[in-house]
Amino acid sequence: NAGVTQTPKFQVLKTGQSMTLQCAQDMNHNSMYWYRQDPGMGLRLIYYSASEGTTDKGEVPNGYNVSRLNKREFSLRLESAAPSQTSVYFCASNTAASNTGELFFGEGSRLTVL
């Protein structure tokens, strides 16, 4: 059981470069999420997709774009990376946004922007 899979696990970028973080889940979940984790600030929601074909902004969407490619995949793109985007990024999914059940998280992608 793979669960939620994120790639890459580590990435170093220079300021201004672009990249895409990939996320895929094999649990047939409807809702998917992207969070960033910074020291002392917990996890903050960047974007989420309540269902295939929809995306919405979270708490900190500036500088990011997302694509819900299909039910399984939800990618996060940085068009022009900035040092402030150095963080650990987590993808998560659950059966439905309205479900009070658990979110399933990937192992994280550590991004450093120089």
Q: Which is nearer to other proteins, 17 or 108 (CB)?
A: 108
Q: Which is nearer to other proteins, 57 or 77 (CB)?
A: 57
Q: Which is nearer to other proteins, 17 or 103 (CB)?
A: 103
Indicate whether 41 belongs to the interface with other proteins (CB under 8 A): yes
Q: Distance from CA of residue 61 to its chain's centroid?
A: 11
Indicate whether 48 belongs to the interface with other proteins (CB under 8 A): yes
74 closest CA partner among 55, 95, 97: 55
Indicate whether 107 belongs to the interface with other proteins (CB under 8 A): yes
Kindly report the number of other CB atoms within 10 A of residue 85's CB atom.
20
Q: Where does this chain bind other proteins (CB under 8 A)?
A: 4, 33, 35, 40-45, 48, 50, 58, 90, 92, 97-98, 100, 102-103, 105-108
